Amino acid sequence: MVLPRNFPLLMMAKKIGLALASGRSAVLKPAEETSLTALHMAEPAMEAEVPRALFDVVPGHRADVRGDLTSRIKAHMRHTPVGNPLNPEPLQDALVSDVHFDMVCGHVDKAGEILVGESVEKPLATPTVVAMSPDNGLARNDFFGPVLSVNSVRSFEGVISVASGTPYGPYAALFTANAKRPIRGVRKSRPGTVMVNSNGEGDTANPFGGMTMASSGGRDNGLHAHEQYTRLKTIWPDLPDDTEEVME
């Protein structure tokens, strides 16, 4: 949540009160000019041992917020256990084959700066975070590997442009505190399913399917799934009076 510099305490209270009451977490980015208000508010939360994952304050410039987000991603990825899929402990299991492993590693080797992650014994691969420019092929290819590409853009339109710069379009997730941006983002983005402030697919009855190269020509699940297996044909006959005899 990005807070303005006017009415810092009131604006913060309006946001965190509703977020926490509804079971959501709240990460505040106060304005640089009035960040002390948010920091003072965080002190009693720390004394009450409120988890930082539930309520946190991230002061500084907007660039620092992006850096903090990347740091959190890196920390999470480093602690993602990798191992045998028959073992319930690992969160990331083996890739499907040695060929797939080599393909994933080949894409990573051609990418930009590797922030975290390294290959281990085949066919296992650790989750990898790579910083790269939007025009890098890794950011546009779909190779089913545990790789997250990270890049920065300066505008919301730039985000939509980068997200639409791939020939695949099964899913997209849009996270924003601006109430109007999700509608704009959903209308301009091409994926078949767009998640707003979440990463869940919703109900199993929801239509499933992508756009462009990720599309099979239709949708699975729900009533729309029937349409991809049928053809709509209109028959408008001019039947005579002895219709029953003709039909027989």
* pLDDT tens sequence across 49-77: 888 878 888 887 655 666 677 777 777 77
State the pLDDT at residue 213. Answer: 67
Q: What CATH superfamily is the domain 61-152?
A: Aldehyde Dehydrogenase; Chain A, domain 2 (3.40.309.10)
pLDDT at 233 over 60: yes
Say which amino acid occupies 99: V
What does the alpha-carbon distance between residue 100 and residue 189 come to, in Å, rounded to a whole number? 29
Q: What separation in angstroms does the CA of 59 have from each of 70, 86, 169, 180?
A: 15, 43, 35, 25
- Residue 208 predicted with pLDDT over 60: yes
* Average pLDDT along the chain: 77
Among candidates 223, 215, 157, 163, which has minimal Cα distance to 194?
163
Q: Where are the domains of the chain?
A: 1-60, 61-152, 167-248
Q: Is the pLDDT of residue 134 over 80?
A: no
Residue 247: pLDDT above 60? no
248 pLDDT more than 60: no
Answer yes or no: is pLDDT of 101 > 80: yes
**pLDDT the model gives residue 215:** 57
pLDDT in tens, 137-155: 667 777 778 888 887 788 8
Q: Do 15 and 37 touch, CB atoms closer than 8 A?
A: no
What pLDDT is recorded for position 63? 54
Dist CA 38 CA 61 (whole Å): 14
The CA distances from residue 207 to 91, 95, 160, 193, in Å, are: 28, 28, 22, 8
Chain centre distance of CA 202: 14
* pLDDT for residue 147: 84
Q: Indicate the DSSP class of residue 88.
A: S
- In whole angstroms, give the CA distance from residue 234 to residue 108: 52
